[in-house]
Structure 1
Amino acid sequence: MSSVDPSSPENTRTPDAPALTRRTFGGLAGGLGAAAAAGGLGAVAAAPRAAAAEPPRAHERAFRAAPDRRSRRPNILFILGDDLGWADLSSYGSPDIRTPHLDRLARQGVRFTQAYAGSATCSPTRFSLYTGRYPGRTQGGLAEPIADRSAGLDPRHPTLASLLRGAGYATALIGKWHCGYLPDYSPTKSGWDTFFGNFGGALEYYSKLGLAGEYDLYEGDATYKDLRYYTRIITERAVDHIGRDHDRPWLLNLNFTTPHWPWIADGDTEESARIVRRIKAGEARALFHDDGGSLAKYKEMVEDLDRSIGEVLTALERSGQEEDTLVFFASDNGGERWSYNWPLSGNKASLQEGGIRVPTIVRWPARLDGGQVSHEPVFTPDWTATLLEIAGARPDRGYPLDGTSLAGYLLRGERLAARDLFWRVRGERALRRGDWKYYRGKDGTDRLFDVAHDPREQADKAADEKQLLGRLRAAWEAVDKTLLAYPKP
């Protein structure tokens, strides 16, 4: 990233952003022993007593970790929704959709209001999560998104899973992979011990047929036959996985396809059959379901996603692992046709706020007080860096991370250092610094928005802040020079 002057006016924060309340991290850091030393956690020190004594606000629930839990590294349950819009949860302002389980998760942890995906479409964001780096660092990340077998996540590249596995974690991925196809690419080739799910970007929920008409449900590298509703299947798998006996900490990436098109809810077998007939007849866009869906159907799908996540969280509580499990929930990018993004502009595939700002919730009962809201700008690669630090895993020096660990901010009361958030997709560019966002759309015009106060990106300040615009444009271009070039169309 380009260097940032913390004293410059573009690094102002919203004045009403509440400080987070944290538990001391010292017990965790001190108890990691050899694993912590190997993982470079020497910098993770106990919080100062003054910070630890900070009283919680009235609406916050204070947790106390039992002494025998203080040295444990957390399990990590990382849940992604697919094409879920920023305001599609009732806790984020949806006027119609009700999501009580995710709302409860938010009450028990931290809800982020200015959290972003690593990119504006599915597979590049997953690349940024799995590698902790900008998608443009890798050839596979240049596909926006991956649509054929020519691209994927190089198995030689270190990943969140491979690094955590090296630090003693068991790793599993259930659900959507979308980082390449067999035989060259697979979760089991990139650090996950087990995989159950689909390889492609979309599938018909009952037949499991993908964009090219191929069957796309796998256990490991072998097809697995199950023609029930897909969300039910992967929910059951996740519940079963969590309930097993675990002799070491674990990472579970649980990647739902809900509410991605086609707009098929549980029980919509007639609509499923209609789409399958069109796929088998060779219609190239049959799975896109251009003639289907509705606000009511979308509501049904999102509420089903919420119920499914509720089942998984209940299994976690029932297993006795809830206190020691860090649960993360987000969407892989902004919402699509039926999504509710107000007040943001733009949708999936755009670098406007509606294409990249996503609902994001983090809960860790043993270490993080609930009932909190954070207005800090963060994005997907930050979570990779955060989880590696918390788990005592050291990033590979040959593949430096582009994200910033939020462990100090969340758990030790530290301020986040001023930094830039960077995005690039074909035909668009964006960079956020403090409250300011530099954006160039497909029309080639440079714009500048104070997104903390103008999240709808309607008041273009480019003419009034020419020097600031120039600095942010130069910062974007400096990062862009370090990335791979897009292949020519």
Structure 2
Amino acid sequence: MHHFLTPPILKCGFALARGTFVTCWSLVLLCLGDGADAQDRPPNILFLFADDVGQEVLECYGGQSYSTPHLNELSRTGMKFNHAYSMPVCHPSRLTLMSGQYPFRHGQVTWGDYPQAAEAKTFSRCLQRAGYTTGIAGKWQLALLGDDPLHPQRMGFDYWDLFGWHEGPRYYEPMIYRNGQVRDDTLGHYGPDLYQHGLIEFIKTNCDRPFFAYYSMALAHEVTDDLSPPVPHGPFDRYGSYPEMVTELDRAVGRLVAALNALQLREQTLILFLADNGTPPEIIIRAEGEELIRTPVVSRCNGLDIPGGKKQLNNAGTNVPMIANWPGTIRPGQVVNDLVDFSDILPTFLDLAQAPLPADVAFDGVSFADRLRGRGASPRQFAYCEEAVLPKAGGVEPDGESSGLKWVRTQDWKLYNDGRLYHMSEDEREQYPYVAADDDATSSAKRKQLQQAFDDLGI
């Protein structure tokens, strides 16, 4: 992978639509708007959603294998969450994220699809109705865009710049759909640079109104593995290594924060960084003809070597990094232990947007916006995760086999639907399960509490 210099802060002379140029100061004034109006309006939201990145990857969580200075700075000047929980693989996480409901609520959803009945209730559609302009760049994974190129529009995005998932490359010389049309200007380019540039242009164009800018990263997922011939190598005649992709991911965070700073939008903008599931156990590093060569991913964290846990229901697969940063609203240097799962993202965004939840949907999520505003902890009592059974669609294979396991948990205790109970604060690697016949008074009470959570979910 080629190496990039961190780009300089945006300079004067921004190019806008139809070739018009305005000065830096004029654009800043446009973005700031009237002082009273800027204070009254809800915050902009920059949502940074990383792919295949566990907590052990980030230095601010104790990671020792990779340099993540920009994420460290977001954590140092913002709020770090210790107990954010995903689904174990990509698609169920995205389904939960956008719908505010757990996957089992939607019935049998094929891999890489989104239930049509739920399209009108995504967080992006709800934010549009609340007056936000919405844009997304990077990964979609909710439809094959070749079959349904306007799917992001139906799901609530005014602008999109998304790679053709399982249709073409995402990194070198990427295949990108911009607003329904395949771009013809990507030859010789590195995909993440194009996604970031497109999202920055979206922010610049819409900085005078509330915006929702969603960077759904390709990084740090491996290349598509089902195309013939395989997708192009990078400049070193191979694909990016996991450390190189983490470096690029962190650089992207710095680039987007620099853009907000240049536009003087930081105090008006919540930045939320989150990852979709744990680190992969291995990645594709190069192609030899049609054969794809893989290399293991093991990360050092707090003195331990941690193999990638993607596809697993343990902490390595589902306990993901989450950082919130909002100068002037979020007090710097906070580390919180509130439970958060992905169903909480939709109600939190709508709470921040001062918009009501749709009345005809039974959402699983609860808002943690008060935690961000400094008004108190999230009311969530337990987190939920499932190993969803998702049949393939359009020739796309799921990321792994499923046994139908599910769990509910608090910060300290975790119960699987097969009866295994773990005291997570003492047994993080889940080596010593409690079975009901051996429960003591404490484990029996915790089992009863968590079983009630399963019962409340109807499981």
**TM-score, normalising length: structure 1:** 0.71
Match for 2:57 among 75, 88, 109?
88
Stretch deviating more after TM superposition (342-351 or 159-168): 342-351
Q: Kindly tell me: are residues 353 and 280 of structure 1, through their superposed partners in 2, closer, same or farther at Cα, counting changes over 3 Å? A: same
2: CA distance between counterparts of 1:436 and 1:203?
Answer: 42
TM-score (norm 2): 0.75
Per the TM alignment, residue 127 of structure 1 is displaced from its structure 2 partner at its CA by 1.4
Higher strand share: 2
Unaligned 5+ runs, structure 1: 1-65, 209-215, 264-274, 482-489
Question: Which ranges in structure 2 are unaligned for 5 or more consecutive residues?
Answer: 1-34, 282-296, 388-401
User: Equivalent residue for 1:13?
Assistant: none
Q: Deviation at 1:105?
A: 0.7
**Equivalence for 1:280:** 228
CA distance in structure 2 between the aligned counterparts of 1:194 and 1:250, rounded to whole angstroms = 11
Q: Partners of 2:198 and 2:298 in 1: how far apart?
A: 27
Partner residue, 2:68: 99
CA distance in 1, matches of 2:420, 2:94: 28
**1:20-53: per-residue Cα shift (whole Å, max 9, x none)?**
xxxxxxxxxxxxxxxxxxxxxxxxxxxxxxxxxx
Aligned twin of 2:421: 448
Map of 2:191 onto structure 1? 230
Residue 438 of structure 2 is aligned to residue 469 of structure 1: no
Which amino acid is 1:181 matched to? L
* Structure-2 separation of matches of 1:457 and 1:199: 38
Alignment partner, residue 358 of structure 1: 320
* 1:113 equivalent in alignment to 2:82: yes
Instruction: Return the match for 1:436 from 373, 397, 413.
Output: 413
User: Within the alignment, does 1:219 sit opposite 2:219 as a pair?
Assistant: no
The whole-number CA distance in structure 2 between the counterparts of 1:168 and 1:339 is 44
Instruction: Tell me which residue corresponds to 1:316.
Output: 260
| Shift of residue 120, structure 1, vs aligned partner | 1.3
Cross-structure match for 1:301? 245
Distance 2:246 2:308 in 1: 20
State the partner residue of 1:174.
137
8 Å contact 2:133–2:206 — kept in the other structure? Answer: no
Does 2:346 align with 1:384?
yes
Q: Where do 4+ consecutive residues of structure 1 move more than 6 Å? A: 343-346
Q: Which residue of 1 aligns with 2:161?
A: 196
Counterparts in 2 of 1:391 and 1:453: CA distance versus 1, 3 Å: farther
Q: Which amino acid aligns with 1:307?
A: R
Deviation at 1:111, TM superposition (A): 0.7
Query: How many corresponding residue pairs?
Result: 379
Residue 100 of structure 2 is aligned to residue 132 of structure 1: yes
Alignment of 1:7-46 (within 5 A): none
Closer, same or farther: CA 240–389 of 1 in aligned 2, 3 Å = same
- Cα distance, 1:384 vs structure 2: 1.6
Alpha carbons 1:77, 1:326 under 8 Å: kept: yes
Residues 136 and 157 in structure 2, CA contact (< 8 A), matched pair in contact too = yes
SS state at 1:113 partner: strand
CA positional deviation for 1:220: 1.3
Cα distance, 1:82 vs structure 2: 0.6
Q: Over the residues paired in the alignment, what is the CA RMSD in angstroms?
A: 2.9
Deviation at 1:238, TM superposition (A): 2.0
Deviations 1:291-346 (A, max 9, x none): x989x921111011111211111011001111110000011111102153856787
* Equivalent residue in structure 1 for 2:126, among 149, 163, 166: 163
Question: How has the CA–CA distance of structure 1 residues 412 and 199 changed in structure 2, closer, same or farther, with 3 Å as cutoff?
Answer: same
